[in-house]
Chains A and B, each alone.
Chain A
Amino acid sequence: MIKYLLLLFIALQPSLVLAQSVSTDGWYLSPGVIGTLVLVAIVLVVVILIIIARLNSYVTLLNERRKMRQRLEFSEELTQLEDEELDAILENRKKALKYKLKGAELSGSAEASDAKGLIKQITNEPDNPLADEKTRSMDKLEISSQLKQLIIFYLGAAVFWLVFGTLVGQYLGMKFVWPEMDSISWLSFGRLRPVHTNAVFWGWASLAMLGLGYFVVARTSNTQIYNYKWGWYAFALINLAVFAGTLTLMAGINNGGAEYREYIWPVMLLFALGLIINFWNFYKTIANRKVADIYVSNWYILGSMIWTLVLAVIGYLPFYQNGLGETVIQGYYMHQGVGMWFMTFTLGLIYYYLPSALNKPIYSYSLGVLAFWTQMLFYTMIGTHHFVFSPLPWWLQTVAIVFSAGMFIPVVAGTTNFLMTMKGSFYKISKSYVLPFFLVGVVFYFVGSTQGSFQAFRFTNYIWHFTDFNVAHSHMTMYGIITFILWACVYAILPKITGKEPPQLLVGAHFWLAFIGLFAYMISLMAGGTLKGLSWVEGLPFIESVIMMKQYWVSRAIGGSLMFISHLLFAYNFYSMVSQKAVKSVKPASKIIHA
């Protein structure tokens, strides 16, 4: 079913995109163009149908072969059994069929005991009206103390930058309401804004991803990390980059004000070095893997790291960046920064942590592979959609818009894969503190990405561009997708490696505050942004849109406060998961069962 919807979408894509144009040139309405598009679309659909049919029959064939082989193996096994063995099996079966309950199994005066240690917790209030009792974390995993420490430090630093970065963000949000809060140059809006974005990008999300990545890479390769020392060097370099970057930005030293590359190149070089070291460490670990296949998570992780290095080099090299050359690169850089680094890496994390949290395999491995390559193809081309109607070449804008629509393919593939993996386990959501984070993250992956593609269409861009809608979109994605998924992964893995669980009530509070806060934030800026755009189209004086936005900025600040409070709770939860003193412990497993 989803396949067909996807096909329908691909077929409709050119008309959907271009129909949104506000141009009255009308060239695309000429029958020739439409006819050609339809014809090309038909060819495309047919080709895709053929490919799917071929793939389908090939997969069926493989399945048949496998089943046949299993059947052969089973019958061989049967014929090789000795008579005594057969008798024993039949005897057992007879006994089992005769067995009847006595009706008194659960009563009696014998004292209760838990000889095998199956009971983990006893509660006296099974029907707590406030919060459902959540399932405890799986048994503790034994991992090397070196890896454990590395992960905890990466995540710990990430938590610090999250709290710091969002504190700055919250302060900035309040400045929209009270512009005279302070008159200190180091705290002024223009200087602090990049401090907020860069701290949550390169500090929080990047460090958290890398820390979680260390576990995935080692685990799925079934081997030790190649070099722990390198991990620590990279840790120091990245933190130093964010620290130095924050200071230079506040002092007014920035790289020309280009979004997300505000750090001047010596600072970004520190980050890039950290990234190179980590890339090489991950690569060597995967090269030394003890399993034949490279798990799909590692595709995403290695891909995102190598792509980000290319991106940083292209973004900072000066040879083509005078005049509008800089703007072309800016569109490319700011979009790929999000798409190739945060989104790709995070997808890699989901491919490991989601199935592992559900204790079952990913729904479709090949869909993951398809999403990987289409992510590279489509995401790379769409940077210029940040500059629709700008003086950049029209063809560049059109390519960006068409490929933005193409983004539906990796997005639908990914979302389908995650939701189908979760299918059958949705009942677990109310009993888990990890799954709600995953579900919200995955749903936002679909909603945020699709909404982004829609926003690139010329008509929607016409209304929303330059308004606060952009800010809503970036929070929907960087927060709704990336941050929620990272939280899910942290809550999924930390209790398993430290043996300490966070207080469930506080995890719940964290979740709901963050979610409601984000929603208030998003909705207020979306509504306000739309009204702002419409007032501009109407040709009303600019200041009226500022006056009109005030109430929306107030509710944004309220939403932001909820989000910030939730980060404080998260920081506490993190502390309780890693602190030596915390009491709630997870029973160590006798052996490692799941990977």
Chain B
Amino acid sequence: MLNFHKDHRSLVWTAFLGFLILSVGIAVLPAYQSQSNTEPLSTMEPMTDAELNGLDIFIEEGCVACHTQQVRSIEMDKTWGDRPSIPSDYYYSKQRLGLWRQSPSVLGSERTGPDLTNVGLRQSSSDWHLLHLYNPRIVVEESIMPSYPWLFEEKTQSAEGDIVLSVPVAFKKKDVEIVATSEAMDLVAYLQSLKQAPLTTKPEFIPSNRNKPLEVQMVEGDALPDGKNLYTNTCSACHQTSGKGLPGAFPSLAGSSIVNDKDPDMLVRIILQGYDARPEFAQMPGFADQLNDAEIAAIANHERTSWGNNAPKITEEQVQKIREMVNSEMQ
């Protein structure tokens, strides 16, 4: 009957049907199921037009080649989100992009750059994002990300309502101002919108097999986490690992009177609430939601003891008190 060696018709039909059945079972049905069984979380909001435009540019420029958007269910991915990603997270962002293009492939397969699942929380400052897009090396010296100058205009005289970048002196061109186009603003709106929606019962991370005692590195016996690592992850994007900041964009912490003040009140307040008192620098977002008291204390201590700074260390309790004070002021 089925003599594949002599009957080309049955050979091709068998290969065709066999593959088709397997494919439907392993790909089409699970895909269909996933599409039809996924609802957005109640805490999620539909994307705005600006964010959708931003997603368009994100796809156009091929950002997905280097940036993933998935927090895997393993402990090492905790850096990128509070919880592993779930299908609902992608409800609004992964819809077909019109007639010509399919739903954007944002999960990605390479992490040449950081994961972006929670970048809106990690980097909430639009000034930072604009500078970073204009030239990543302004804010992250070692970055290998491409610059996107075509999202910006060079103007000799900026007009009313233009968003002018505060480019540090070292990167400044003579006699021109760098103005963000609406594409750049949309892209930043999209990036700022990337936050994990809160979930009451979080799916858990699979713990790593590494020895537990090594995992939390204590610094010199005090019970705080590693402030240097936290600083590098959270603060160095703007203030730089050298603590020197970027003239014209981000203030220096080395030698700063606020950092060196014996009373840590102002320093901790700024970390908690953000800062926008000096027009020559970009605006700093607050980190109250992102960092706990111990982490803030660790970062503050790192800042107070590095780059020639010399101020007494602070404790978790001090931070806690200041946080309570700030909270009561807000009410």
Contacts and interface: CB of A to CB of B under 8 A. Distances in A.
A539 B76 contact: yes
Interface string A410-451: 000000000000000000000000000000000000000000
Interface stretch (B98-106, B156-164, B308-316): B98-106
Interface in B79-131: 79, 84-87, 89-91, 94-97, 100-107, 109-112, 114
A470 to B, nearest CB: 6
Contact of B206 (A23, A258, A333, A544): A23
A336 B20 CA distance: 12
A189 B144 CA distance: 10
Nearest to B89: A391
B6 A381 contact: no
A431 B142 CA distance: 50
Residue with the highest number of chain B CB atoms closer than 10 Å, among A264, A326, A369, A392: A326
A229 B233 CA distance: 62
Nearest to A178: B144
A391 B65 contact: no
Nearest to B241: A543
A293 B4 CA distance: 9
A326 B73 contact: no
A324 interface: yes
Given A266-B100, A332-B27, A257 B34 contact: no
Interface string A321-347: 111111111111100100010000000
Contact of A310 (B16, B77, B85, B95): B16
B62 A191 contact: yes
Interface string A448-490: 0000000000000010011110110000000000000000000
Contacts of B94: 322-324, 326-327
A190 interface: yes
B31 A176 contact: no
Interface stretch (A86-94, A179-187, A496-504): A179-187
Interface residues of B, number: 85
A542 B114 contact: yes
A383 B12 CA distance: 23
A176 B77 CA distance: 24
Contacts of B8: 283, 286-287, 294, 298, 302
Interface stretch (B46-54, B147-155, B261-269, B296-304): B147-155
B104 A257 contact: yes
B15 interface: yes
Contacts of A387: 107
A323 B34 contact: yes
Interface stretch (A41-49, A137-145, A156-164, A311-319): A311-319
A390 B85 contact: yes
A252 interface: yes
Contact of A324 (B38, B68, B140): B38
Residue with the highest number of chain B CB atoms closer than 10 Å, among A314, A320, A393, A544: A320
B91 A323 contact: yes
Nearest to B234: A541
Given A22-B206, A299-B11, A324-B34, A383 B62 contact: no
Interface stretch (B207-215, B283-291, B319-327): B207-215
A302 B15 contact: yes
B232 interface: yes
Nearest to A279: B12
A500 B60 CA distance: 46
Interface string A384-423: 1011111111001001000000000000000000000000
B221 interface: no
B6 A293 contact: yes
Contacts of B140: 543
Given A310-B23, A328-B31, A381-B22, A299 B4 contact: yes
B229 interface: yes
A289 B110 CA distance: 47
A328 B62 contact: no
A530 interface: no
Given A252-B60, A466-B68, A323 B103 contact: yes
Contacts, number: 269
Contacts of B79: 536, 539, 542
A493 to B, nearest CB: 24
B74 A325 contact: no
B23 A257 contact: no
A542 B229 CA distance: 10
Given A257-B62, A387-B107, A189 B11 contact: no
Nearest to B100: A264
A555 B195 CA distance: 37
Nearest to B86: A391
Contact of B103 (A292, A321, A388): A321
B207 A24 contact: yes
A50 interface: no
B16 A306 contact: yes
B100 A303 contact: no
B23 A311 contact: yes
Contacts of A542: 79, 114, 233
Interface of B: 4-6, 8-9, 11-12, 15-16, 18-20, 22-23, 26-28, 30-32, 34-35, 38, 59-66, 68, 70, 72-74, 76-77, 79, 84-87, 89-91, 94-97, 100-107, 109-112, 114, 136-137, 140, 142-150, 206-210, 215, 229, 232-233, 236
Given A180-B137, A293-B6, A465-B72, 9 more contacts: A188-B148, A190-B146, A191-B62, A323-B90, A324-B35, A325-B34, A326-B103, A466-B68, A543-B232
Interface of A: 22-24, 175-176, 179-180, 183, 185, 188-191, 193-194, 252-259, 264-266, 283, 286-287, 292-294, 298-299, 302-303, 306-307, 310-311, 314, 316, 318-333, 336, 340, 369, 376-377, 380-381, 383-384, 386-393, 396, 399, 462, 465-468, 470-471, 536-537, 539-544, 546-547
A-B interface, 6 closest residue pairs, ranked by CB to CB distance from nearest: A190-B62, A325-B35, A389-B72, A258-B105, A332-B27, A325-B31
7 contacts: A257-B63, A306-B12, A321-B103, A330-B105, A388-B72, A391-B85, A393-B34
